[in-house]
Amino acid sequence: AAAVNWGVANKIVSGVAEDTFAPDALLSREQLAVMLANYAAAFGTPLTAADLGTFADSGDVSDWAQGALAK
């Protein structure tokens, strides 16, 4: 619980709903990319974005994860 509270407090994770976490659920690449980008932002680490169009599966990326996956 302490790690989840820390992640929420630092805007790194937000859960699967407003007040729900699923710690035993599988993590998607999109979810991981968002968490890593949020972690970098929380600690002031700039990330350079790439062109997602260069990846074969770029058309499969969800709108909410595009920015994070580009980084």
DSSP letters, 20-51, are B--TTSPPPHHHHHHHHHHHHHHTT-------
Q: In this predicted structure, what is the pLDDT of residue 4? A: 85
User: What's the rounded Cα separation, in Å, for the pair 12 and 42?
Assistant: 7
Q: Note the pLDDT tens digit of each residue in 16-28.
A: 887 788 888 899 9
| Span 34-68, pLDDT tens digits | 999 999 999 999 999 999 999 999 999 999 999 99
Residue 18: the pLDDT is 77
Side-chain-side CA neighbours of residue 69 (13 Å): 19
Average pLDDT, the chain: 91
